[in-house]
């Protein structure tokens, strides 16, 4: 049975509209990203256009800022000592912990 995105009146559900907007954005990025041969200026202009349309949409319940997106958070990387020395140190730290099972 085909999936129908919308209620009885034919209006799209909020999740369906969000999925469609995300699909349009991903298709734009796949086509215009500079890493795949797209024009960097056109890509930046398109990103700006998507951000402006996102900021015009009303915020979801529970978000304090307009255009809140869970993918806009900064990314942090935890530094780990590389190689065999790092593995041995991590293994020893694990061995010193008490058992998780009581």
Q: In the 8-state DSSP scheme, what is residue 73?
A: S
6 neighbors 13 (Cβ within 8 angstroms) = yes
At residue 21, the pLDDT reads: 86
Supply the pTM of this predicted model: 0.44
Mean pLDDT, the chain, rounded, equals: 76
Query: pLDDT tens across 30-73, in order?
Result: 998 888 888 888 988 988 898 888 777 665 555 555 555 566 66
33 neighbors 25 (Cβ within 8 angstroms) = no
Higher per-residue confidence, 72 vs 23? 23
The answer to whether residue 9 scores a pLDDT higher than 70 is no
Q: Which helix (H) or strand (E) holds 21?
A: helix 14-32
At residue 100, the pLDDT reads: 74
The answer to whether residue 79 scores a pLDDT higher than 80 is no
Q: Determine the Cα–Cα distance for residues 1 and 51; give it in Å rounded to an integer.
A: 35
Q: Determine the Cα–Cα distance for residues 63 and 41; give it in Å rounded to an integer.
A: 31
């Amino acid at each position: 049975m085909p999936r129908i995105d919308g209620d009885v009146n034919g209006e799209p559900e909020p999740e369906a509209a969000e999925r469609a907007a995300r699909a349009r954005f991903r298709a734009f990025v796949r086509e215009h990203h500079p890493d795949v041969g797209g024009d960097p200026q056109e890509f930046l202009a398109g990103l700006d256009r998507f951000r402006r349309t996102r900021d015009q949409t009303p915020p979801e319940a529970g978000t304090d800022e307009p255009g809140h997106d869970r993918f806009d958070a900064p990314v942090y990387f935890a530094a780990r000592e590389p190689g065999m020395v790092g593995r041995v140190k991590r293994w020893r730290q694990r061995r010193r912990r008490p058992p998780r099972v009581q």
